[in-house]
């Protein structure tokens, strides 16, 4: 089973949200359809701009915690390294 770390944004350079899940497609769908109340709903954070797989839930949770503690600039650098145009990657994961 895979576990996923993901970063959502409201727009390129906008509000960022870091999450972890065991079902990336389902979880991003929930964010996009406003089925997830809270921060992402309040700030309209729906664009998937980064994700990475982990083999264990423990490593995924630890990575999520690490990313959350890093500065905004570091998170932006992480996104831009693999997704310089801040494209919405949702279509890439549902194929």
Residue 77 is predicted with a pLDDT of: 98
Q: How far apart are CA 65 and CA 85, in angstroms?
A: 25
Domain around 41: 3-94
Whether this prediction's pTM lies above 0.85 is answered by yes
Q: How far is CA 34 from CA 21, 24, 28, 29, 41, in A?
A: 17, 15, 10, 8, 6
How far CA 31 is from CA of 48, 56, 77, in Å, comes to 10, 23, 23
Cα 65 from Cα 47, distance rounded (Å): 20
| Amino acid 36: pLDDT | 78
Tell me the residue length of the chain. Answer: 95
CATH code for the domain in which residue 64 is found: 3.40.1440.10
pLDDT per residue as tens digits for the range 36-75: 789 999 999 999 999 999 999 999 999 999 999 999 999 9
pLDDT at 37: 84
Q: Is the pLDDT of residue 95 over 90?
A: no
Gyration radius from the chain CA atoms: 12
Residue 25 has pLDDT above 80, yes or no: yes
Q: State how many domains the chain has.
A: 1
């Amino acid at each position: 089973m895979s576990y996923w770390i993901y970063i959502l944004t409201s727009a390129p350079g906008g509000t960022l949200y870091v999450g972890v899940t065991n079902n990336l497609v389902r979880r991003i769908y929930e964010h996009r359809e406003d089925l997830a109340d809270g921060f992402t709903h309040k700030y309209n954070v729906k664009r998937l701009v980064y994700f990475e797989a982990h083999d264990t839930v423990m490593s995924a949770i630890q990575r999520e915690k690490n990313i959350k503690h890093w500065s905004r600039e570091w998170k932006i650098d992480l996104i831009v390294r693999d997704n310089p145009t801040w494209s919405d990657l949702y279509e890439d994961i549902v194929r």
